[in-house]
Amino acid sequence: MIWKLRRLETRPRAALCVALFSWLSACTSVPLREGASLGSYAGMSPSGGTLTQAKLRVDSAPVLAAKTVRIVPTSTQIGSRGFEPKDLALVTNAIDRALCTDLGDRFQVVAPSQPADLVIHATVTDIVATNRTAAASSIVASLGGSVAGLGVPIPRLPIGLGGLAIEAEAVDKDRSQKAAMVWSRGANIITTRARVSAVGDAYSLSSAFAADFSRMLLKGKDPFKGMPAIPSMQRLRASLGGDPKYDACKAFGTAPGIPGMVAARFGLPPTWTDRGAAVSR
């Protein structure tokens, strides 16, 4: 009798969990458009995952043979969209910092003045602003659910979600393109935490782009095929605010670490805990 009661009690929760995961597809749609920053857009193949749209090409042999990389600071092509310059700088620096950390798993990252087998440059081509009022409402609902002791996550409101679109390439010493990716992704109501900032979702999604692009270079193949890799110890250490593996990465500052995670949990703007690039301090 007891097991029957327990089974009945778990049914509503199980049904709610199924509903939550089915809502995962409720996300902002960010168009996948080619910008004007890549040396070539020829030969790119459609790819992507459940939440991500992408087109890419990679020359496996030269990419796998490369030992060193240099990162050119990420630029933007979005013009004047009403974003604060400091917010845009925070997003582009977060992209560079994540790229530097992730690529460090196989490559030696060198300083701007040093030669490298591959030079990496990313460009932000679109940012869909996060609606701060909707984000604040979602945060209140989520914190209220936590206080009430609910055993399931409270999804964000399916309105006002932000997004990010980027394109990037890796070129060799002769400026010949060896890998390229056009990438876009929108925030979703389950896995993207709401933050009261116009660039809150774009900031959160910057690490997802860096992971996809870096994996393409680390493996020399489509990063959306196969099982995701387990984060290395150096990546985990950097994500917790530790010093990066290579001195060249220090230019992009250190991750907010535990304070950043706490700030994200309570929906605080990333500017509250991310100090940005070291050179701008």
pLDDT, one tens digit per residue, over 117-135 is 999 999 999 999 999 999 9
Alpha-carbon gap, residue 132 to 273, rounded angstroms: 18
Q: What is the mean pLDDT of residues 3-31?
A: 51
pLDDT of residue 20: 46
pLDDT value at residue 13: 46
- Residue 149: band (very low, low, confident or very high) from pLDDT cuts 50, 70, 90: low
**pLDDT of res. 89:** 96
pLDDT > 70? residue 179: yes
pLDDT at 152: 60
Q: Answer whether residue 100 shows pLDDT above 80.
A: yes
Q: d(Cα 198, Cα 161) in Å, to the nearest integer?
A: 10
**204-252 pLDDT tens trace:** 999 999 999 999 999 999 999 988 778 899 999 999 999 999 999 999 9
What whole-number percentage of the chain has pLDDT above 90?
76
